[in-house]
C-alpha cells in the first residue's frame, strides 16, 4: 500500500510539473506572443544571435518543443535560413537545460509568492497583464512540483524493490537510456524527466554513471515530440526538428560509453551531489552547441538530402500559421496577407483573359481553370483558419476584421467563378467561331477590362490600409462602372439599328461580357462597404424615401 501511495504522489507531482510548463507557455504566448515570434524571426540574421534567440525563447516559453515548432514554421515560410534554424534549436536545448538548472537551484520558497501574484494578475488583468499572471502562476507551480517530487521520493531510499530495479538499470545502460527517453517522449518534456532524476538522485539511490545515462535518455526523448508534432508539416519544417534529433543522438552515442568516467570527473570537480543531473544536462547541451554550431550548414544540407523536397502544391497557403491562432491580432495579419495573395491570383486571371481577348490566343486561357481552383482552395483555407481563432481571445475589433477578411475572400472567389465560367467561355467562343467585334465595341470592352483591373488593384490597397479616401474613390468608381455598362449597351444597340454586321454577330457576347464585368466590379467594390459604413456614409437602400410624393391613389385620380 505504501508503494502505491508513493507512486501516486510521484505521478501527481510530475503531472503538476507538466501543467506548470503548459501554463507558462500559454501565459507567455498571450502576453508576448506576437513580439516573441517577431524577435525570434529577426534574431536569425547572425549565428550568435540565432543561438541567443533560441535560448531566450525557450526560457520564456519553458518548452524547446514550442521553440522548435515555431522555428520550423519560419523555415517552411522562407523567413529563416535552415542553417540558422539549426543554431536556434541548439540554443533551445541550452534554454531547457538552464530552466532545469534554475528550477533546481533551491528557490522553492518563491512558489507561494509567485502563485499569489500570478493569481491576482490573472484575475484582475486583461490581455498581456493577464498572460503575465498565467505565466507567473505556471512558474510557481513548477517550483511547487519540485518540492512535491522531493517529498514523494523520500520513502524510496529504503525501498528494496526500487533498489533492485535501480541495480538492474545500473548494469544495463541501454535499457536505462531507452526508459528515460520513453518517459521524456510520454511527458513531451526532457525537463520533467531531468527534474525527476534530480529528485531521485537527491534520495541517494542513483549512481553518478546512471544519472548521466538517464539525463542522456531525457535529451534523446525530448527531441522526438517536435518531430512527431511536425509530421504533417511541409518537408522544410520537418528537416529542422529532425536535424536537432540527429545532433542529440550523435551526442548521446558519443558520451554513453563514457558515462561512468563523465560522472566521476564531474564529481571530482565538485559538480556531483544532488544537482548532478541538471549540471550534466546543461554541460551536455553546451558541448553539443559548441560541436554542432560550426557544423550547422553541413547538418542542414544532410537533412535536405535525407528529406528531399516533395512536389510543391500549387499556391498552397503560405501565411496561415496555426501557432499564431492564440494571438488574434497576429493571426488576422497573416490571414490578410494570404487573402492579398488570392487577390493577386484573381488579377492574374483577369489580365490573362484580357490578353487572350486582345490577341485572340486561346493558349493564354489554359492557366485560368487551375488558378480558379487555387482561389477556391485558398479562400476555403482562410475561412477555416479564421474560424479557429478563439472567440474569447478576440475583441470586437478583431471580430469585425475577421468578418471583413472572410467577406473579401468570398467575393474574390465569386470573381474567380465569373472569370472562369463567364469571360473565359465568351473569349473562347469569340475565337473558336471566328467572331469579330466592331472596332468601337472592341475598344469599349477592352477599356472596361482595364477599368476592372484598376479597380481590383485599388481594392487590394483598401483591404490592407482601410483608407477612407480610397474607399470613396472606389465607391465613385462603382457609379462610373454603371455608366460605362449603360453607355456601352446603348451604343451597341445603336450599332444594331445601323445594321452593322459585326455588332449583330457578336451581340450576345458583347452584352454577356458587359454583364459579367459589371458583376465583377460589384464584388470588388464590396471591400469599401465596411469602411464607409463605419463612417456612417452608407444607406441601406438606394430607393428614395420621399413623403411628399403623391400616393398611388391620388396619382390615379
Do 41 and 75 share a domain, yes or no? yes
Do 270 and 296 share a domain, yes or no? yes
Whole-angstrom Cα Rg for the chain: 33
What does the pLDDT read at residue 452?
A: 95
For 225-233, what is the mean pLDDT? Answer: 79
Do 270 and 343 share a domain, yes or no? no
Torsion angle defined by CA atoms of residues 222, 228, 230 and 235, in that order, rounded to the nearest 10 degrees: 110
Count the neighbouring beta carbons within 10 Å of the beta carbon of residue 506. 26
More confident residue, 555 or 339: 339
Residue 160 included in any domain: yes
pTM over 0.95: no
Which pLDDT band holds residue 246 (cuts at 50, 70, 90)?
very high
Do 129 and 247 share a domain, yes or no? yes
The rounded percent of the chain whose pLDDT value lies above 90 is 28
What does the pLDDT read at residue 79?
A: 67
pLDDT in tens, 370-423: 999 999 999 999 999 998 875 545 566 788 889 999 999 999 999 999 999 999
Do 294 and 377 share a domain, yes or no? no
Do 204 and 249 share a domain, yes or no? yes
More confident residue, 393 or 256: 256
pLDDT in tens, 286-335: 999 999 989 988 988 898 888 887 655 566 788 888 878 878 888 899 99
**Separation between Cα atoms, residue 331 and residue 320, nearest integer Å:** 7
pLDDT in tens, 435-465: 898 888 899 999 999 999 999 999 999 999 9
Distances (CA, A) of 323 to 33, 67, 72, 396: 9, 11, 11, 22
Structural domain count of the chain: 2
The answer on pLDDT for 550 being more than 60 is no
> Are 268 and 218 in contact, with CB atoms under 8 Å apart?
no
User: Which segment of 1-15, 193-207, 470-484 scores lowest on mean pLDDT?
Assistant: 1-15
The answer on pLDDT for 467 being more than 70 is yes
| Residue position matching grid coordinates 537545460 | 97
**Separation between Cα atoms, residue 209 and residue 205, nearest integer Å:** 12
| Residue position matching grid coordinates 476584421 | 401
Residue 542 included in any domain: no
**Separation between Cα atoms, residue 552 and residue 557, nearest integer Å:** 9
Residue 10's domain spans which residues? Answer: 2-306
3-state helix, strand, coil in the chain (%, to 5): 80, 0, 20
What's phi and psi for 200, nearest 5 deg? -70, -40
Which pLDDT band holds residue 553 (cuts at 50, 70, 90)?
very low
More confident residue, 17 or 359: 359
Instruction: Return the C-alpha cell found at 406.
Output: 472572410
For 360-368, what is the mean pLDDT? Answer: 92
The answer on pLDDT for 554 being more than 50 is no
Residue 78 included in any domain: yes
For 267-285, what is the mean pLDDT? Answer: 82
User: Which segment of 39-43, 321-325, 509-513 scores lowest on mean pLDDT?
Assistant: 39-43
Residue 420 included in any domain: yes
Highest mean pLDDT among 38-47, 186-195, 388-397: 186-195
Question: In the 8-state DSSP scheme, what is residue 293?
Answer: S
Which pLDDT band holds residue 552 (cuts at 50, 70, 90)?
very low
Q: Which of 277, 306, 335 is the last residue of a domain?
A: 306
Residue 283 included in any domain: yes
Do 289 and 336 share a domain, yes or no? no
Average predicted confidence (pLDDT) for the chain: 82
Sign of CA dihedral 398, 400, 402, 408: negative
> Are 342 and 378 in contact, with CB atoms under 8 Å apart?
yes
CATH of the domain at 353: 1.20.58.220
What does the pLDDT read at residue 342?
A: 94
Residue 547 included in any domain: no
More confident residue, 497 or 6: 497
Residue 155 included in any domain: yes
The answer on pLDDT for 14 being more than 80 is no
What does the pLDDT read at residue 359?
A: 92
Do 260 and 408 share a domain, yes or no? no
Q: Which of 247, 274, 306 is the last residue of a domain?
A: 306
Do 382 and 256 share a domain, yes or no? no
The rounded percent of the chain whose pLDDT value lies above 70 is 82
Do 112 and 199 share a domain, yes or no? yes
User: Which segment of 224-228, 247-251, 544-548 scores lowest on mean pLDDT?
Assistant: 544-548
Do 182 and 302 share a domain, yes or no? yes
Do 117 and 191 share a domain, yes or no? yes
Residue 552 included in any domain: no
Q: Which of 306, 335, 361 is the last residue of a domain?
A: 306
Amino acid at each position: 500500500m505504501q508503494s502505491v501511495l508513493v507512486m501516486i504522489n510521484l505521478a501527481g507531482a510530475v503531472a503538476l510539473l507538466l501543467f506548470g510548463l503548459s501554463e507558462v507557455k500559454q501565459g507567455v504566448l498571450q502576453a508576448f506572443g506576437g513580439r516573441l515570434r517577431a524577435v525570434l524571426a529577426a534574431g536569425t540574421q547572425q549565428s550568435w544571435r540565432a543561438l541567443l534567440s533560441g535560448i531566450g525563447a525557450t526560457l520564456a516559453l519553458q518548452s524547446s518543443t514550442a521553440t522548435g515548432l515555431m522555428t520550423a514554421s519560419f523555415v517552411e515560410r522562407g523567413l529563416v535560413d535552415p542553417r540558422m534554424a539549426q543554431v536556434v534549436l541548439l540554443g533551445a536545448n541550452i534554454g531547457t537545460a538552464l530552466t532545469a538548472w534554475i528550477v533546481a537551484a533551491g528557490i522553492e520558497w518563491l512558489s507561494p509568492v509567485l502563485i499569489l501574484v500570478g493569481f491576482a494578475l490573472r484575475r484582475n488583468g486583461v490581455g498581456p497583464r493577464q498572460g503575465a499572471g498565467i505565466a507567473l502562476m505556471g512558474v510557481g507551480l513548477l517550483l511547487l512540483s519540485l518540492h512535491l517530487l522531493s517529498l514523494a521520493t523520500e520513502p524510496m531510499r529504503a525501498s528494496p524493490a526500487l533498489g533492485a530495479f535501480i541495480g538492474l538499470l545500473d548494469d544495463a545502460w541501454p535499457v536505462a537510456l531507452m526508459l528515460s527517453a520513453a518517459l521524456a517522449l510520454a511527458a513531451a518534456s526532457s525537463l520533467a524527466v531531468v527534474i525527476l532524476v534530480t529528485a531521485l538522485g537527491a534520495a541517494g539511490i542513483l549512481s553518478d554513471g546512471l544519472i548521466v545515462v538517464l539525463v542522456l535518455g531525457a535529451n534523446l526523448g525530448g527531441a522526438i515530440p517536435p518531430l512527431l508534432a511536425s509530421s504533417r508539416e511541409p518537408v522544410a519544417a520537418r528537416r529542422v526538428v529532425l536535424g536537432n534529433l540527429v545532433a542529440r543522438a550523435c551526442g548521446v552515442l558519443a558520451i554513453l560509453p563514457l558515462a561512468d568516467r563523465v560522472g566521476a570527473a564531474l564529481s571530482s570537480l565538485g559538480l556531483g551531489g544532488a544537482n548532478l543531473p541538471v549540471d550534466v544536462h546543461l554541460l551536455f547541451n553546451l558541448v553539443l552547441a559548441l560541436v554542432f554550431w560550426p557544423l550547422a550548414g553541413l547538418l542542414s544540407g544532410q537533412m535536405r538530402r535525407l528529406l528531399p523536397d516533395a512536389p510543391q502544391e500549387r499556391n498552397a497557403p503560405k501565411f496561415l500559421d496555426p501557432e499564431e491562432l492564440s494571438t488574434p491580432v497576429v493571426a488576422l495579419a497573416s490571414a490578410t496577407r494570404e487573402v492579398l495573395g488570392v487577390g493577386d491570383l484573381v488579377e492574374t486571371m483577369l489580365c490573362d483573359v484580357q490578353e487572350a481577348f486582345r490577341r485572340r490566343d486561346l493558349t493564354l486561357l489554359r492557366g485560368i481553370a487551375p488558378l480558379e481552383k487555387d482561389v477556391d482552395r485558398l479562400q476555403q483555407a482562410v475561412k477555416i483558419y479564421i474560424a479557429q481563432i478563439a472567440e474569447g481571445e478576440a475583441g470586437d475589433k478583431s471580430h469585425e476584421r475577421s468578418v471583413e477578411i472572410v467577406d473579401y475572400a468570398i467575393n474574390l472567389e465569386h470573381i474567380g467563378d465569373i472569370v472562369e465560367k463567364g469571360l473565359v467561355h465568351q473569349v473562347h467562343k469569340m475565337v473558336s467561331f471566328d467572331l469579330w467585334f466592331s472596332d468601337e465595341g472592341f475598344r469599349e470592352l477592352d477599356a472596361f477590362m482595364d477599368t476592372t483591373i484598376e479597380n481590383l488593384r485599388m481594392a487590394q490597397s483598401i483591404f490592407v490600409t482601410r483608407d477612407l479616401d480610397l474607399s470613396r474613390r472606389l465607391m465613385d468608381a462603382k457609379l462610373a462602372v454603371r455608366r460605362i455598362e449603360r453607355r456601352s449597351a446603348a451604343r451597341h444597340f445603336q450599332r444594331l439599328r445601323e445594321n452593322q454586321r459585326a455588332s449583330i454577330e457578336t451581340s450576345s457576347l458583347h452584352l454577356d461580357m458587359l454583364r459579367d464585368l459589371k458583376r465583377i466590379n460589384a464584388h470588388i467594390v464590396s471591400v469599401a462597404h465596411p469602411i464607409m459604413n463605419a463612417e456612417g456614409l452608407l444607406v441601406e437602400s438606394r430607393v428614395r424615401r420621399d413623403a411628399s410624393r403623391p400616393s398611388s391613389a391620388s396619382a390615379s385620380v
